[in-house]
Amino acid sequence: MSDQTSVNPTTNPSQSDPSALEPFAIKDCALIAIATGQKAYSLRELRDRLLIIPPNSLFDHFWGNLLEPRFEEREYNNAFASWARRGLHDDILAERLAMVDPGGFNSLEALRQEVVELVEERLEESQRLQWMLATEPFEFMESQIVVFDTHLRVEQPQQFAKLLPQLSTSSIFYHFIDARRRMVEELDDFRVWLGGFHGQHQNLCDQIAEIDPYFSSLTELRRILTQIFQNYFSLVKP
């Protein structure tokens, strides 16, 4: 993904007084798809394009489809695995690519290297894939994220226990997934903001850190976050 229209809402104005922390500003978002002009008609071409595409394109093909409407369960979570199955009809590569969890890499460049290595490994294994053309090309896309202010503000962490179930799935995407690309710390917005309370909610942050967002729908992520906040604050004394 490339540009966005708003700034990070989780700036901490005070490093000494948590009560002076800026409220958490709830944002919503939408994605606008943009063609990069890069296409791959074979697995070799996919490997070559993977080496030069912008990092945001890689992000989009792993994470962007979470915001697309789901009328049925997807067989594969990322566009590369789907194309390996649909365009190349290669179940082996499709399964290997489907197992790649982008949340397990500390940078998009590390993720890129993993995908390239899997593709090169499969090319070495199969003579057929070295010359075969796909039945449909892989089109590399990027997305521009457009951000909206919902005007909802959270003053205290316990408010999330009631507010989270009401948030749109695109808000969950913006604050829990896209934030990891925006933040230098590569953390979600919730943990960044909670960090301004100087360890007071470290256990809550640890529980949020354990969530793997990649193999869940945004609806399921919202449910998991809601449960964590509700359970945490039902145990915390006022």
Q: Is residue 25 part of a domain?
A: no
Shared domain check, 132 and 60: yes
How is the chain split among helix, strand and coil, in percent rounded to 5? 55, 15, 30
Shared domain check, 185 and 90: no
What per-residue confidence (pLDDT) applies to 12?
42
Res. 67 pLDDT band, cuts 50 70 90: confident
* 184: Cα separation from own chain's centroid: 15
Q: How many domains does one find in the chain?
A: 2
Q: Is residue 18 part of a domain?
A: no
* Token reading at 134: 């796909």
Shared domain check, 162 and 133: no
Shared domain check, 119 and 35: yes
Shared domain check, 180 and 132: no
Shared domain check, 192 and 133: no
Res. 146 pLDDT band, cuts 50 70 90: very high
The DSSP output letter for 225 is: H
Q: List the domain range (segments joined by +) for residue 114.
A: 31-142
Shared domain check, 162 and 132: no
Torsion of CA 82, 88, 91, 92, to 10 degrees: -110
In the chain, beta strands by DSSP E: 24-42, 133-154
Going from the C-alpha of 20 to that of each of 106, 168, 196, 229, the distances in angstroms are 32, 28, 10, 22
Shared domain check, 187 and 216: yes
The structure's pTM equals 0.83
Shared domain check, 122 and 42: yes
Q: Is residue 100 part of a domain?
A: yes
Residue at a domain's end among 142, 163, 196: 142
Q: Is residue 13 part of a domain?
A: no
Q: Is residue 22 part of a domain?
A: no
Compute the average pLDDT of residues 17-28.
Answer: 81
Q: Is residue 214 part of a domain?
A: yes
What per-residue confidence (pLDDT) applies to 68?
75
Share of the chain above pLDDT 70, in %: 87
Shared domain check, 162 and 121: no
Shared domain check, 133 and 49: yes
For residue 22, count other CB atoms closer than 10 A to its CB: 15
Which tens digit of pLDDT belongs to each residue from 3-17?
443 334 344 434 445
